[in-house]
Structure 1
Amino acid sequence: MGKVKTIARRSFLIGSAAVLGGVAFGVWRAKTPYTNPLLKRLGEGEAALTPYVKIDASGVTLITPRADKGQGAYHVQAALIAEELDVTLEAVKIDPGPPDRAYWNTALAAEAAEFNAPEEGFVQDALTGVLGSVMKFVGLQITGGSTTVPDGFIKLRAAGASARETLKLAAAEQLGVAVGDLRTEAGQVIAPDGTALRYEELAEAVAGMEPVQDVALRDPSEWRYLGKPMQRVDILAKSTGTQAYGIDFEIEGMVYAALKLAPAQGGGLVSYDASAALEMRGVSGVYDVSGGVAVVADNTWRAFQAAEAVEAEWSASDMPANMAEHWAALEASFVPSHQDSRVRDDGDVDTAMLEGEAVTADYRAPYLAHAPLEPVSATVLVSDARVDVWTGTQIPRFVQATVAKIAGLDADAVHVHVLMMGGSFGHRLEDDVVRQAAEVAVQMRGVPVKLTYSRETDMAHDYTRQIAAAKMRGTVKDGRVQAYDLSIAMPSVIVSQMGRQGLGVPGPDSQIVAGAFEQPFAIPHHRVTGYRADPLAPVSSWRSVGASTNGFFYNLGLEELIEAAGADPLEERLRLASDPLARKVLEAVGEMSDWDGVSLGPRRGRGVAMTRSFGVHCAEVVEVTDTDDGIRIDKVYVAAEVGRVLDPVNFENQVQGGVVWALGHAMNCEITYEGGVAEQLNFDSFDGMRMSQCPEIVVRGLENGEAVRGVGEPPVPPAAPALAAAIYAATGVRLREMPFSKFVRFAS
C-alpha cells in the first residue's frame, strides 16, 4: 500500500500560547481532512500538524495523548518527541492534552486487519489502511491494545523534528546565519560563534511561520534517549509518594459522593429510603443516578458510610442464576448456529482425525476483575455553558460525548482533564464513574462533585474479563503433531463493551479467537473456530483481552498433542514454527533457560509456551518445584520480539509486571456469581501473587522485526500455560482450568 505523503503544517495554538506568542507543533497523517478550523485550510491529500509540542514564554510542553496508567506511556511519548526536538526530559513539561479526534490511534487497525485478512501481503496492508481511515474518521482516541509505541514511533519523532527545524529557521532569520550552520542542543539553537537562543525566546517568531516540512528522522545511531536505559519522567514523584493520581484530585468547594447500587449486575432500583443516611454527619443530599443512588457528603468516608445506610429494594438480575448455568451456556454454544468465525482452516482436519492417535481435552477460564490498586473516581463541575471533568481515563472522547449528553451541551463545551492512573488493566476503558458523577453534578450545578467507588462497589460492578471455554481435538503420527482443531466459546467482549457506548459492532468478534487463530505453527491440518455465546455477565477488555484466555487454551492443547507424540515441547514448537521471528524467540528462550530436554530432577519441572498477540511473539519458560509446602515458582524466562526496545529498563519492568499479573491470576483468582451478585468483593477473596511467591524473572527483548511493537499485554497469554506445563512436569497433575489453586496448592 502506498504511503500517504506527510506534510507538516502549522496547527492551532494551545491555551495561553496564542496570547504569549507561542506555537504548537505536531504531525498527523491522513488523507481525509477533518471539518475543523485548521483543516478547512488544507487541500486534498494534505496532512496536518496537530499539537504535540507547545512552545511559549514559559518553556516547552510535550503533549502526550496516550493515557498513563502506570505503564510509562507519558515517558515514552515524551522521549520520542524529545529525541528529535533536542530537549532534555528534565527541562520540559508534559501534558496529556485535550480530547480531540486528531489524536486518533493510528495503530489500532493492524490487529483487526490481520483477523480479516490473515495472510500478510497487499490485501492485509490495504485493509489496514481502510480500517485506519475509518478509525481516523471516527477520531478513535483510545489507549489500549499495546499501541502507544507503535502509534507514536514515527509521528511523534516527526513532530519533534518538524519543530526543531522550524526553530532553526526562525533563529537563522534572527541571527542572519545560514540554517545549515546552526545546531540544536538542550532546548537551544546554537550559532557557530556560540550564540544560543532558547526555544522559548523564538516562540513568537515561529508562531507566524509555516513549519519546515518533510524532515528526515535521525538514524538510531544518533539517538540520545531511545534504545538506552532511561529514568522515567515520573519516577521521582512515584518514589517519593508525591505523584498525584485521579483519586487525589481536589478543588475548592468540592463535595464527595459515594454510590448505593444494586448488589446484582443488571439489577435495577425499585425504591429506596434515604432518611437514615440524610441524618448522618456531613451528608448534604441523595441523588438518583444510573443503577441506584448517590450520597453526597463533606468527605469520602462519610459518603461511603451514608451510602451503606440507604435502604433499597432492587429488581433481579437477568444473568444466569449460578456459575453452573454460566458454564452450561458456554457448552451450549459449541453449535453451528453460534459459530462466529473460522479464519484458520488449513488442510483437512476432519479427514486427518481419522488417522493417527487422537487426543481430546476441554479447557476453562473464569471471569476476572480488573481491580486496579487505585479505585476509580471522577470529579465533575457543571455550569450553564461549560463542564469540566477530571478523571483517569483511556477514552477521553467517549467521556466527553457521554457527559455532553447528560449536561445537554455540545461536546466542545466539555473539557476533559486526563489524570494519572494507578493501574487500569482495561478497567478505565469504561466510563460509568464519570457518567454517574455527571448525573449528580447536573443536579448540583456550580458545585464540583467527586465520586469515588469503594473497593467493594468497584469489584461488584466491574465489567470483568470474559468467561471462556475451549474444546481441543487433534492427532499425532510418527512422533509429530499432525492435526489440531481448537474450538473456543465466549461472549463477545467487543459487543458488550461498545454497547455501553451506544455503538453497534457488526460482523464477527476477533477477540473470540485472538491469541489462537494467528499462532505461527505450520501444523498440516489446523483449524480454529470461534463460537459466540449469548450475553452472560457484562464483560470488558482485560489485559490482553481474548488472548488472555486463548493463549492458555491454545498452548495447553498444543502441549498435550506434543506429549502424545512423544516429542520435546520446545523442539516440536521449533519444528512447527512457520515465522522466522517466532523461531528466533523460541531459540532465545531456550538458550536463556538452558533447555536441553532433560528433566530438572525429582519434584521439579519446567514448561514452555509461546503466544503471538498484538503482533508480538512472546515465549516463556517457567520452572517450578513441588515442595512440601506446595508448588513454588522458581524462575521465569521471557523472550519477546518487538522490533525496537525503546527503553530497556521500562521494557523489562513491563514484561515482569505482565508475568506477575498473569501468574497471580492463574494461581488464585476468579469472579463467581450467585444470582448476579459477585462473590469476591475485595483482595482477601481475590488474592493475586504475594511477594514471597514471586519468582526471578529474566527478560530479553529481540529486535529482529521491522515493525515496532508494544509489550504491555503480550507477556500475559503465555504465562499461565507455561506454569501449567511446568506443574504437570513436576507433579503429573494436568491442569485444564484456572484458577489452579482449585487443584494444586501453592507455597506461601
Structure 2
Amino acid sequence: MGKLATIARRTFLIGSAAVVGGVAFGVYKVKQAAPNPLLDDLPQGATALTPYVRIDGHGVTLITPRAEMGQGIHTTLAALVAEELDVAWGSIRVEHGAPGAAYYNRALVEANIPFADQDHGHAAEAMRGTMGVMAKLLPMQITGGSSSVADLFDRMRVAGAAARFALVAAAAQKFNLPAAQLKTDSGNVVAPDGRRLTYLELAPAAAVIDLPASPPLKPREQWRYLGKSLPRVDMVAKCTGTATFGIDVRLPDMVFATVRMNPAMGAALVSFDATAAKAMRGVVKVVDLPGGIAVIANNTWRAFQAAQAVQCDWAGPGYPASTAAMIDGIVASMTDKNRDSRLRDDGNVDQALAAGTRLEAEYRVPFLAHATMEPMNAVAWLHDSQLDIWAGVQNPTAARDQAAKVAGLDASKVHLHTTLMGGGFGRRLESDFVVQAVRLALAMTGKPVKMTWRREEDMTLDFYRPAAVARFRGTTAGKQVHALDVQVASLSVVESSLGRLGLPAMGPDAKIIEGAFDQPYGIANYRATAYRTPAARPVTYARSVGNSFNGFFIESFIDELAAQAGADPLNLRLALLNHEPSRQVLSAVAAMSGWGQPLAAGRGRGVAFHLCRGVPVAQVVEITTTKDGVKIDKVFVAVDVGTALDPRNLEAQLQSGVIFGLSSAVYGEITFAKGAAEQTNFHNYPVLRMQQAPQIAVKVLESGGTIRGVGETGVPPAAPALANAIFHATGKRIRELPLRKHIDFV
C-alpha cells in the first residue's frame, strides 16, 4: 500500500490527514503538542501544570484564552477547568493569558468552510478535518464566530482533569497510597483517614508527572458548576469600577497620544502643517504616520485638541467615494463574472419558477459600524530591547506578530497583555490601533505611550460590516413554497481582513451567503448564489457577519411567500423545516408568544427563524402602532444550544443579541461622502435607548447535541421579526434597512 494510505491510517487525510495544495502535513508536526506558554514567564515558586492551570502562593489561577468583551466567556471557560480540577469557585483567579499556539481556535477555522453546519457528509467532514489541522499549524488565537465554548469544551475540561490526575498522583507518592484510594475536595487531595494536602503543596511534585492525553471526565450528573448559573468572575470588579480595560491602563512616566487619519480609510496623507499644534500647551511631539498623523502630549485631552489643530491635506480614495456609488458597485457585481459561489442548488429551480404563483423582490442593507462603547486604544512601551503592549484584542497572536514586525523585534520580545474590552463585535479582530501605538512607542523609546482614539475617529475609521443587496424569486402553490432562488452580493470580509494579515483568501467566501444557503428549509427547488463585489473600502467581520444581513433577507422573503400563499407564516415555516431542533425552537416560541391569538387593533406580531453557527433560534416580536410611530413591546426568543452550561449567561447573551439586532434594524446606517463616513458619534449613529428597549423573554432548549455558543445567535432574527410585525400591523412591507427610513419609531 502507498505512503498516502499509510499516513491516512495513522493520522488525518481528508477526514483523517490534512492535505492542502497537494501536500500532506507530516504526522509528527500535526500531532506535536504546542508548548505551554505559561512556562515562558513563570513567576518564582509557581507551577504551570497545563496551559490553563497555574498554581502559586496566591492559589489556583485558571487561564481563559478568549477575549472577554462582556459576553461572560471567562466565567464559562473557567468553569470548564474548575469542574474537572475540583477547586472551590470562590477561590480561583482568572486571567486571559499571553498569546500562545496552545490556544489556537480550531472550531472557528473549521466553521469557515463552504458547507452548511448540518452537512456531515464525507466532503464536508474532510474539509473540516483539513481546516482543523490548518488551525493548529497557523495557529490563530481568535475570539469570534460564537466559537469559544464549542472549541474549548473538551480541551479545557481535559486540561482540568489532567492537572487533577497529576496532583492526585503526587499525593499518592507522599501518602504512599494507591491513587485510586484518594479523593479531591475543593483544592485538596484527601486520604481515606482524612489527611489533606493542598494543591499548592503538591504542585511542584505534580509538575514532573506525565499527564494523560485522555483522562476520564465527569458525567453530567456529577457536574458541580457546569449546567448552573454561576457568579461572573468579573462581576465585582466591573460593578466597583476596579476592572482594567485597555483604556484604564496607567503606567509611571506615561505620555498620552491620539491619531488623526485620512477619513477615507486607506487613502494617503499628502501633506500636513503641525505648527499650531506644536505650540499648544502640553504637546510633546507630532508624529507622521502612514495615512495620517499622531499627537503625543502630557494628557489625552490635550492630544485630542492638538490633533484637530493640525492642517491636513488628504488624498482621495481609490474606491467609489459616495454611498450611491458604493451600492451601485455592489449591484453591478451581480453578474456571472463576479459569481463567488453557488453553495446550494437543489432540484430544478428554473423549471419550478416557471410554474405556480411567482414573487420577485430586492432587498438592501447598509454599511454598519461596530460602535463599541470603548473606543480603540492601546498602550505600548519599548524598553530594554523588548516591547510591552496592553490592549483589548480579539486576535492576540496576530496583534503580537504585527507589532513585532513594525518594531523590528522577534515575537518572543513582544509581550502582549490582553485586557478586558468594552465591546468588540469583530472590530478588535483588527490590529491597526495596536500598530499605531507601537509606532508611537518607537518615537518615544523608554516611555510608555497610551494611544486613545476620539469617538469620532473610532466611528469614522471603522472597518465596517459591508452593505449587501439580495434578489429573490420564489413560487408558491397550495400554501406551499415550491421554489426559492436567492442571489446575494457584497464585499468580501474574508478577502479584506486576510489581506491585512498578509494571507491569501483561497476559494469562495461563504460569509457572503451564510445564513441564506444553509437554512434547514426543505424546499425542493432551492438555489443560493453569492457574488463578490470587487475590493473597495476595507471591511471586516461584525457580529454574526453574513447572517446579520442574510437573516433579514431570507426571513423577510419567506414571510412574503407565506402572505402570497395565504398561509400562516409560522406554520409555513414549521412545514418547511426538516431539522428537528429547529422545529422545536419554532414551536417553543409560538407557545411563549401565544402565536395565533388575536391582537388588539394597532398591534402586530412577526416571526423569524434562523440557524446561526449551528444554533437554531426563533423570535417573535410584538409591536404597537401609535400616532408618533411604532413601539416595540416584547420579544420572545427560543434557542437550542445542545447543552446549556450557564443558563443565566445564555439568557443575557440572547437579550444582548436582540438589542444589537434591533438597533441595527431600526437605526444602523453608515453613509459616505468623498470617501469619508458621515456619521461621527451616537447623535447621528443612534442605538436603542433604555426607554425603547422591549421586554425580552428567553427560553433555552437542550437537545443534547453539539455544544454551541450564542454570542451572535440572537442578532439575525431580530430585524426580520420586527419588519414582519410591521407588515402584520400596517400592511407595509419594508425591504431596506434601516427601517426608520420608511417608518417612525418611538
Q: TM-score range by the shorter chain?
A: over 0.9
For 2:583 and 2:182, how far apart are their aligned partners in 1? 47
Q: Does 1:23 align with 2:22?
A: no
What one-letter code is carried by the residue in structure 2 that aligns with 1:25? L
Q: Tell me which residue corresponds to 1:66.
A: 66
1:544 equivalent in alignment to 2:569: no
Amino acid corresponding to residue 587 of structure 2 in structure 1: E
Mapped partners of 2:36, 2:289: distance in 1: 40
Q: Which amino acid aligns with 2:542?
A: W
Post-superposition CA distance 1:26-85 (Å, at most 9, x none): 3xxxxxxxxxxxxxxxxxxxxxxxx11112233211111111111111111111100110
Instruction: Tell me the distance in 1 between the aligned counterparts of 2:211 and 2:356.
Output: 67
User: Is 1:618 paired with 2:620?
Assistant: no
The CA deviation at 1:290 is 2.4
Per-residue CA deviations over 1:386-431 (Å, capped at 9, x if unaligned) read 1111100011111111111111111111111100001111110111
Moved segments of 4+, more than 4 Å = 1-13, 15-18
Aligned to 2:720: 721
2:65 matched to 1:14?
Answer: no
Aligned to 1:678: 677
Structure 2 CA distance for aligned equivalents of residues 659 and 599 of structure 1: 24
Would the aligned equivalents of 1:171 and 1:197 in 2 still touch at CA under 8 Å? Answer: yes
What count of residue pairs does the alignment treat as equivalent? 721
Match of 1:383 in 2: 383
Contact 2:257 2:296 in 1 (8 A): yes
Q: CA deviation at 1:631?
A: 0.6
Q: Is the 8 A contact 1:497 1:539 kept in 2?
A: yes
Following the alignment from structure 1 to structure 2, what is the Cα–Cα distance between the partners of residues 218 and 103?
A: 23
Deviations 1:337-357 (A, max 9, x none): 111010111111111111111
Note if contact 2:489-2:530 (Cα within 8 Å) is conserved in structure 1: yes
Alignment pair present for 1:522 and 2:522: yes
Deviations 1:186-207 (A, max 9, x none): 1111122222211111122112
1:651 alignment counterpart: 650
Match of 1:641 in 2: 640
The answer as to 2:190 corresponding to 1:182 is: no
Question: Is there any run of 5+ residues in structure 1 with no aligned partner, and where?
Answer: 27-50
Q: Partner of 2:70: helix, strand, or coil?
A: coil
Instruction: Supply the AA of the counterpart residue of 2:354.
Output: L
1:728 maps to a residue whose letter is F
Classify 1:115/1:196 alpha carbon distance in 2 versus 1 (closer, same or farther; 3 Å): same
Say yes or no: does 1:745 pair with 2:744: yes
Alignment match, 2:734: 735
Please state how far the C-alpha of 1:679 moved relative to its aligned partner.
0.5
User: In structure 2, what is the Cα distance between the partners aligned to 1:60 and 1:175?
Assistant: 22
Q: Is the 8 A contact 1:581 1:617 kept in 2?
A: yes
The answer to whether the 8 Å contact 1:6/1:214 transfers is no
Q: How large is the Cα RMSD of the aligned pairs?
A: 1.8
- 1:121 is aligned with what amino acid? G
Q: Which amino acid aligns with 1:23?
A: T
Residue 121 of structure 1: how far off its partner (Å): 2.7
User: 1:7/1:155 Cα in 2 relative to 1: closer, same or farther (>3 Å)?
Assistant: farther
Tell me the distance in 2 between the aligned counterparts of 1:716 and 1:566.
28
More displaced, 552-561 or 260-269? 260-269
Amino acid at match of 2:711: G
Deviation, 1:384, is 5.4
Aligned match of 2:393: 393
User: What is the CA–CA distance in structure 1 between the aligned matches of 2:55 and 2:482, rounded to whole Å?
Assistant: 62
Q: Distance in 1 between matches of 2:203 and 2:384?
A: 35
Separation (CA, whole Å) in 2 of partners of 1:443 and 1:6 = 43
The letter of the residue matching 1:383 is H
Q: CA deviation at 1:677?
A: 1.0
Q: Distance in 1 between matches of 2:718 and 2:535?
A: 28
Report the CA distance between 1:123 and its aligned residue: 2.7
Equivalence for 1:414: 414
Partners of 2:49 and 2:206 within 8 A in 1:
no
1:14 alignment partner AA = L
Q: Partner residue of 1:40?
A: none
Question: Is residue 107–residue 150 contact of structure 1 (8 Å, CA) maintained in 2?
Answer: yes
The alpha-carbon deviation at position 128 of structure 1 amounts to: 1.0
SS at match of 1:401: helix
Structure 2, unaligned runs of 5 or more: 1-14, 18-26
Alignment partner, residue 120 of structure 2: 120
Mapped contact 1:12–1:24 kept (Cα < 8 A): no
Offset at 1:478? 1.5
Q: Residue 132 of structure 2 corresponds to which residue in structure 1?
A: 132
Q: Which one is further off, 459-468 or 89-98?
A: 89-98
Written as runs of structure 1 = structure 2, the 5 A alignment for 1:241-390 is 241-383=241-383, 385-390=385-390
The answer for the alignment partner of 1:632 in structure 2 is 631
Whether 1:668 aligns to 2:661 is no
Please report how far the alpha carbon of residue 534 of structure 1 lies from its aligned counterpart in structure 2 after TM superposition.
1.6
TM-score, scaled to structure 1: 0.94
Which amino acid in 1 is paired with 2:519?
Q
Deviation at 1:113, TM superposition (A): 3.4
- Equivalent residues of 1:118, 1:343 under 8 A apart: no
Displacement after TM superposition at 1:126 (Å): 2.3
SS at match of 1:717: coil
Q: CA deviation at 1:174?
A: 0.7
**Cα distance change of structure 1 residues 497 and 547 upon mapping to structure 2, 3 Å threshold:** same
Cα separation, 2, equivalents of 1:687 and 1:476 = 39
8 Å contact kept, 2:37–2:99: no
Q: 2:703 maps to which residue?
A: 704
| Distance in structure 2 (CA, Å) of the matches to 1:628 and 1:117 | 44
Tell me by how many angstroms 1:273 deviates: 1.0
Deviations 1:244-297 (CA, angstroms, capped at 9, x unpaired): 211000111111111121232233111111111111111110111222111000
Q: Offset of 1:538 from its aligned partner?
A: 1.5
1:440, CA displacement in angstroms? 1.3
Question: Residues 36-115 of structure 1: matches in 2 within 5 Å?
Answer: 51-113=51-113, 115=115
Residue 392 of structure 1 contacts residue 428 of structure 1 at CA under 8 Å; is this kept in 2? yes
Deviation track 1:286-322 (CA, whole Å, cap 9, x = no partner) reads 1112221110001111100110111111111223232
SS at match of 2:60: strand
Which whole-Å CA distance do the structure 1 matches of 2:528 and 2:201 have between them? 61
2:116–2:518 CA contact under 8 A, matched in 1: no
1: CA distance, partners of 2:632 / 2:327? 30
Q: Deviations over 1:673-714 (max 9, x none)?
A: 011111100000011001111111111111114210000001
Query: Counterpart of 1:38?
Result: none
Give the letter aligned to residue 649 of structure 1. R
Q: Please give the per-residue CA displacement for 1:537-589, whole angstroms capped at 9, x wherever unaligned.
A: 22111100011001110111111111111111111111111111111111111
Structure 2 CA distance for partners of 1:213 and 1:260, relative to 1, 3 Å: closer
Q: Report the Cα offset of residue 10 of structure 1.
A: 9.5
Work out the CA distance in 1 between the residues paired with 2:117 and 2:711.
Answer: 24
2:238 corresponds to 1:238:
yes
Specify whether residues 9 and 71 from structure 1 end up closer, same or farther in structure 2 by C-alpha distance, changes over 3 A only: closer
Aligned 8 A contact 1:8 1:212 in 2: no
The letter of the residue matching 2:324 is A
Q: Verify the 8 A CA contact 1:57 1:201 in the aligned structure 2.
A: no
> Contact 1:667 / 1:741 at 8 angstroms: preserved in 2?
yes
Letter in structure 2 aligned against 1:613: C
Q: What CA distance in whole angstroms lies between the structure 2 residues aligned with 1:66 and 1:418?
A: 9
